[in-house]
Chains A and B, each alone.
Chain A
Amino acid sequence: MTEINDNLAKLPLDSWHRSRGGRMVPFAGYEMPVQFEGIMAEHLWVREHAGLFDVSHMGQLLFHGPDIDRALETLLPGDLLALNDGRLRYSMLLAEDGGIIDDLMATRRGEHFYLVVNGATKHGDIEQFEKRLPRTIVMDHMREQALLALQGPEAVVVLDTVVPGVSELSFMQAGLFHWNGRPLWISRSGYTGEDGFEISVAGRDVETLADALTADERVKPIGLGARDSLRLEAGLPLYGHDLDGTTTPIMAGLNFAIGKRRRAEGGFAGSLRIMAELDNGSALKRVGLMVEGRQPVREGALILDAEGSEIGRITSGGHSPSLGRPIAMGYVASDRAETGTVLTIEQRGKLFQATVAPMPFVPHRYHRKQGATA
């Protein structure tokens, strides 16, 4: 069993998780609940009802200053100039060689930009922003803010009861709401493939809000384990596993996150390499894999071609509770990345057969309004 290290930080909801039977494990420098009643049950609950995730370990950064959108565009490949107020976009913090330092959500919030970055990488990201943005840009790490995600098909009904009006948001839209006189910054977004919301709330208020949300019997607390299996089914990459400093947005198949204007103009970190990869393709590509049999293949397993030569590696893999079978993600040589390609995987001396499959493995069910774009 894992010993909990004394150096780990505690989330604002730490005792709330424990009192609900959360099994705490070290993650991203925090003690976090990996599961409550069980990963499988929690996973399926989110696909059918609504699950509450504590993602307060993630970094919430608020930027302002002259031409903040242009300043961020030097490091992020997304079209931020075209991003309307109260809209968010999936993007990446890029290194000068085009490698991904982190993936993130960026929201235009009046005069500010609000970024949510991964917990394990937030301190490194902050250093990057401090070093690489002009001195006229001010960055506030909102340490006092907690972050909750309410995800699943019933999330909208539940949250609209507690915070009337949130049902008006469409996917990738956000706004300021009030609940018992307390401000909540709520976006219609998430990382499960389901409709849902992410709620930035003051740490001192998060327990009362979590109580109010879980008072509804359609909501259960969900741990990191199900968060991982849900995002894997949704085909969403996890930083540190499916993305890292050696992967570019094109290798990762995240071309959609590079704005059309940005492709034409360039001018972002790594743009020469990334634009060349857009034109000519990258050597490796991230693919989804349906694995034969029942045994999951995990991160680190080798992907082989018909001759037994290594052509890539598994970066995430596990049992899909919704499909009842093992699924995986990995990188392969681009000429083997086509849907339907049969590949061999080697794990601990054992061979598995897998077929390249389109992602998501389980269809997304985001709430997009007609005519609205993300």
Chain B
Amino acid sequence: MSLYFTKDHEWIRVDGDVATVGISNHAQEALGDIVFAEVPDAGKSLSKGDDAAVVESVKAASDVYAPVGGEVIEGNSALADDPSLINRDPEGEGWFFKLRLANTNELDGLMDEAAYREWVKTL
């Protein structure tokens, strides 16, 4: 299992050809109290860079982009009832969706965890 991050503060946990996607702790801190999240349904096909999910804090709405392409296997249904899961456990229970990777080459160039945590400190 390997963990990747994007410069949009998304994380991608890869297990075989299944990728779980969420937003980083830094992202949830920047957003503040999250009051709504909308995740894609199973079966939806996403290309890298597509609008994949919506997350709204008290302040504002933000889009979550698909960091890699593939077919959605599952959206995290727990977020509909309790979007604050994203604040409490952003890199665990607060995941957004799982997809089956269309092209593992899209993982190339993403940051690993150590690189991401270092980069975030420079922001």
Contacts and interface: CB of A to CB of B under 8 A. Distances in A.
Chain A partners chain B: yes
Interface of A: 1, 34-35, 38-41, 43, 225, 229, 294-296, 298, 318-319, 321, 326
Given A39-B59, A321-B58, A296 B32 contact: no
Contacts of B58: 39-40, 43, 225, 229, 318-319, 321
23 contacts: A1-B30, A1-B123, A34-B59, A35-B32, A39-B32, A39-B33, A39-B58, A40-B33, A43-B58, A225-B59, A294-B80, A294-B83, A295-B38, A296-B35, A296-B36, A298-B61, A319-B33, A319-B35, A319-B36, A319-B56, A319-B58, A321-B58, A326-B35
Most buried by A among B38, B54, B59: B59
Contacts of B33: 38-41, 319
Interface string B33-51: 1011010000000000000
Chief secondary structure at chain A's binding surface: mixed
Contacts of B36: 294-296, 319
The majority secondary structure among interface residues of chain B is: mixed
8 shortest interchain CB distances as A-B pairs: A319-B35, A40-B33, A39-B58, A295-B36, A294-B36, A319-B58, A38-B33, A39-B33
Contacts of A43: 58
B71 to A, nearest CB: 23
Interface string B53-72: 01011111100000000000
Given A39-B58, A298-B61, A225 B83 contact: no
Contacts of B56: 295-296, 319
Contacts of B123: 1
